[in-house]
């Protein structure tokens, strides 16, 4: 594989780390900035909404620019945004800095996927894209636990400074290794792309992504207080448990991809139902320490097992606009993140308590499975439906 792919993976590692690491630092951020847990959780919602809005807009706006130029500009935004997070004097500034940082997220992954595919022979494109996304899975496996540990040791601002340093390193290696004349594509008219993504099966697929992944972040946003205040673990134990969650995320990503390659429709619905069941189990298991650890591993596996089927469904049904569809679905994942963080915070604020949060996540994931079933029906070819009627 070309070295340029590893440069792209470095950028993906930094972006994945800054997105997820805040979840292990919510209590520290809340205490330092004098806000409650629910308000601190909105820092995740703000980031996710920034991705949701920024991904399609920046993808369309930068469509005619050289892709290497776009990648370098996005990593510059990412680096400056994390530096601003580290220096934020209050909650409002930190929220604004998180939103600015998020603007790089969706478009980076969309453009990097195209660049990665253009760096290798046609029969190796899936492997190239997978290698680029390895940076994201390594962020959950290594970046988040290490960033959480650093935040507990030296303060949450030190974590954001470290992520900004990763951004500088990624900027340098992308500038040095990614070729300036990467594979090009003919820009499609915006009207054509919008028509492709406006199909009912695609829109229902995007809605499935939002609801299905909202269940993940209903729990993941508040994983630190769940482990410390419900399961009874000390703050120092959160990082090792997050490492275990990261192992689960990597395993789930591989399992979900293989399942989607075999039979996409059953994988789409099946992984969502498995996630809902796992969230219910998590709600029960969190009340004891050892079962809580097992629940976190299973939660990680179930959470990312949904990613490949959700992404592949939208890409297949919007074949005429892969770039825009990919960006929109990345935005949909992050809208689900925001919805989940808001839902978990609302459950806590309304007095239901932290222990109820996993059950709320299970309900919203079940809603996503129901929408997925509707999307499967909408995607059935018209001739097949007509033949069924004739029979």
**pLDDT at residue 133 greater than cutoff 50:** yes
Q: Tell me which of 89 and 317 has the higher pLDDT.
A: 89
Structure token pair of residue 121: 């022979």
Residue 64 or residue 209, greater confidence: 209
What was the pLDDT predicted at 251?
A: 85
Residue 111's pLDDT band, with cuts at 50, 70 and 90, is confident
CATH number of the structural domain 188-391: 1.20.1250.20
Average pLDDT of the residues in 11-19:
90
0.95 surpassed by pTM: no
Q: What is the mean pLDDT of residues 198-218?
A: 89
Range in 43-47, 61-65, 86-90, 248-252 the model is least confident about? 61-65
**Domain parsing of the chain, residue ranges:** 1-187, 188-391
pLDDT in tens, 278-324: 999 999 999 999 999 999 999 999 998 888 788 778 877 876 666 67
Q: Is 60 exceeded by the pLDDT of residue 382?
A: no
Quickly state the pLDDT bin for 184 (edges 50, 70, 90).
very low
Closest by Cα among 34, 155, 10, 171 to 86: 155
Do domains 1-187 and 188-391 share one topology? The answer is yes
Q: Among 3.40.50.150, 1.20.1250.20, 1.10.730.10, 3.40.190.10, name the CATH number for the domain at 1-187.
A: 1.20.1250.20
pLDDT tens, residue by residue, 234-256: 888 887 888 888 888 888 877 88
Mean pLDDT of 271-283: 96
What is the reported pLDDT for 59?
A: 78
């Amino acid at each position: 594989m070309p070295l340029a792919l590893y440069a792209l993976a470095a950028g993906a590692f930094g972006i994945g780390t800054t997105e997820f690491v805040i979840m292990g630092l919510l209590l520290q951020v809340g205490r330092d900035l004098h806000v409650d847990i629910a308000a601190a959780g909105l820092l995740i919602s703000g980031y996710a909404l920034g991705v949701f809005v920024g991904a399609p807009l920046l993808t369309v706006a930068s469509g005619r620019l050289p892709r290497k130029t776009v990648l370098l500009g996005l990593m510059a935004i990412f680096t400056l945004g994390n530096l601003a997070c580290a220096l934020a004097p209050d909650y409002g500034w930190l929220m604004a800095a998180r939103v600015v940082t998020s603007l790089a997220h969706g478009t980076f992954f969309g453009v990097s996927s195209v660049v990665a595919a253009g760096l290798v022979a046609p029969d190796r494109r899936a492997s190239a894209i997978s290698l680029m996304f390895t940076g994201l899975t390594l962020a959950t496996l290594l970046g988040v636990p290490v960033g959480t540990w650093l935040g507990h040791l030296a303060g949450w601002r030190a974590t954001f400074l470290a992520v900004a340093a990763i951004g500088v390193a990624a900027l340098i290696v992308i500038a040095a290794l990614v070729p300036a004349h990467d594979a090009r594509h003919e820009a499609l008219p915006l009207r054509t792309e919008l028509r492709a993504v406006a199909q009912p099966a695609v829109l229902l697929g995007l809605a499935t992504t939002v609801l299905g992944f909202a269940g993940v972040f209903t729990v993941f946003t508040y994983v630190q207080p769940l482990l410390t205040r419900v399961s009874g673990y000390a703050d120092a134990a959160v990082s090792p448990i997050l490492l275990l969650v990261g192992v689960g995320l990597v395993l789930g990503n591989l399992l979900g991809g293989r399942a989607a390659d075999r039979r996409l429709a059953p994988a789409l619905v099946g992984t969502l139902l498995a996630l809902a069941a796992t969230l219910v189990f998590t709600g029960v298991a969190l009340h004891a320490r050892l079962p809580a650890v097992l629940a976190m591993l299973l939660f990680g596996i179930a959470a990312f097992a949904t990613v490949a089927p959700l992404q592949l469904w939208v890409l297949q049904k919007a074949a005429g606009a892969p770039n825009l569809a990919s960006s929109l679905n990345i935005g949909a994942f992050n809208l689900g993140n925001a919805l989940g963080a808001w839902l978990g915070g609302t459950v806590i604020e309304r007095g239901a308590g932290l222990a109820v949060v996993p059950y709320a996540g299970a309900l919203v994931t079940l809603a996503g499975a129901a929408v997925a079933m509707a999307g499967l029906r909408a995607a059935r070819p018209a001739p097949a439906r007509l033949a069924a009627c004739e029979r």
